[in-house]
Amino acid sequence: MEATVHIDPGICGFAKSAQASSEDNQYVVFDIHSDCDKVQTLARRLAECGAVDAYQEISPVGQSVLLTAARETLSGCCAACAAPVGLFKAMQVAAGLALPKSIAINITRE
């Protein structure tokens, strides 16, 4: 199964897109595209990890490979990047653990 995610990053302007695919509904690989250097580093890091076990990723007792890689590569102002959330949701869909439904984060200043 394959899921595609398009992420509007907000103020930085570095749009991101990715495909998450799984041949067995458990192990997921990512193909991430972005002009952001930090997200490109995240993409390389995830590629080095190989296929991610989606069941382990959602386990409440395990350490998430995806979120750990994101935390270690997306520092500074990029620590709040929406890319990891989008990738995590796409991983769930690719593994058949969630239905494809768009998410949104809207921010306003009061």
32, 36, 41, 44: CA torsion to nearest 10: 20
Q: Which domains does the chain have, with CATH numbers?
A: 2-94 (3.90.1010)
Locus of tokens 């799984």: 22
In the prediction, which pLDDT does 106 show?
85
| pTM confidence score | 0.92
In the prediction, which pLDDT does 89 show?
97
In the prediction, which pLDDT does 11 show?
85
CB atoms closer than 10 angstroms to residue 58: 15
Query: pLDDT tens digits, residue range 28-81?
Result: 999 999 999 999 999 999 999 999 999 999 999 989 999 999 999 998 888 889
CB atoms closer than 10 angstroms to residue 37: 11
Going by C-alpha positions, the residue among 22, 14, 30, 1 that lies closest to residue 82 is 14
Helical ranges in 1-110 per DSSP H: 37-49, 54-58, 65-73, 83-94
Going by C-alpha positions, the residue among 53, 87, 58, 50 that lies closest to residue 70 is 87
